[in-house]
């Protein structure tokens, strides 16, 4: 007599999806949500990148018992967007105060100390945001990535602001040479 073995095979536990698969599945949802919140496609793209960067850093902490991958990513997207809105509001208030002269003359003097009167005048004619980018990129010699992180804007925005500021300064200095 032969013994018959009755082994019951259990279905394999479903494999956990990879971050890449989850990101690919929900990229359009996250981007669409951020586009709706910001009404700006370039900003939505930047915030989408930041969202997925944060999600990748926290991937091991995802708990499927607390919700779906989609809901988790949208929560990160919302937090990323709210952080950006708060930083943008702070930046705007700083610029408004600076333009109104509330930051004090001593800060302007420290920035322009040792510059020609024409250059100091040109720097004062820039917006607060432009002066800040010039200070960080030219005076302090930070690279574009460091400046972007510090200001909470994209590297492209840093480059654009710097280009505009330097063009304004160049135009003012050319005007002084002619006079």
> What pLDDT digit, counting tens, does each position of 17-59 carry?
999 999 999 999 999 999 998 889 999 999 999 999 999 999 9
Whether residues 167 and 123 share a domain: the answer is yes
Residue 7 forms part of a structural domain: no
Whether residues 78 and 23 share a domain: the answer is yes
Tell me what the pLDDT averaged over the chain comes to: 82
Residue 149 forms part of a structural domain: yes
User: The tokens of 175 are what?
Assistant: 């005007």
Give the end of a domain, one of 27, 61, 87.
87
User: The tokens of 157 are what?
Assistant: 């925005």
Residue 81: which CATH number? 1.10.1740.10
- Assess whether pLDDT exceeds 60 at residue 145: yes
The predicted structure's pLDDT at residue 130: 85
Give percent of the chain with pLDDT exceeding 90.
35
Q: What is the total count of domains within the chain?
A: 2
Q: Give the integer Cα–Cα distance in Å for 134 and 115.
A: 14
Residue 31 forms part of a structural domain: yes
Give percent of the chain with pLDDT exceeding 70.
82
Whether residues 120 and 174 share a domain: the answer is yes
The predicted structure's pLDDT at residue 118: 77
Beta strands in 26-128 (DSSP E): none
- Assess whether pLDDT exceeds 80 at residue 110: no
SS3 of 96, please? helix
Taking residues 96-106, report their average pLDDT.
66
Whether residues 109 and 162 share a domain: the answer is yes
> What is the C-alpha end-to-end distance of the chain, expressed in Å?
114
Residue 149 structural domain: 104-178
Residue 92 forms part of a structural domain: no
Q: Which residue has the higher pLDDT, 21 or 13?
A: 21
Residue 95 forms part of a structural domain: no
Residue 13 forms part of a structural domain: no
């Amino acid at each position: 007599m032969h013994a018959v073995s009755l082994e019951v095979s259990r279905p394999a536990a479903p494999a956990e999806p990879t971050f890449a698969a989850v990101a690919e599945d929900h990229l359009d949802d996250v981007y669409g949500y951020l586009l709706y919140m910001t009404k700006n496609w370039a900003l939505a793209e930047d915030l989408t990148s930041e969202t997925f960067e944060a999600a990748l850093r926290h991937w091991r902490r995802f708990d499927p018992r607390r919700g779906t991958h989609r809901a988790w990513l949208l929560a990160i997207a919302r937090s990323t967007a709210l952080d950006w809105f708060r930083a943008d509001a702070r930046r705007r208030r700083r610029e408004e105060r600076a333009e109104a002269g509330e930051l004090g003359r001593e800060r302007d003097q420290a920035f322009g100390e040792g510059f020609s009167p024409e250059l100091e005048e040109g720097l004062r004619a820039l917006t607060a945001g432009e002066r800040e980018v010039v200070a960080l990129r030219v005076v302090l010699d930070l690279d574009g990535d460091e400046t972007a992180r510090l200001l909470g804007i994209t590297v492209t925005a840093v480059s654009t602001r710097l280009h505009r500021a330097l063009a304004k300064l160049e135009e003012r200095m050319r005007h002084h040479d002619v006079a």
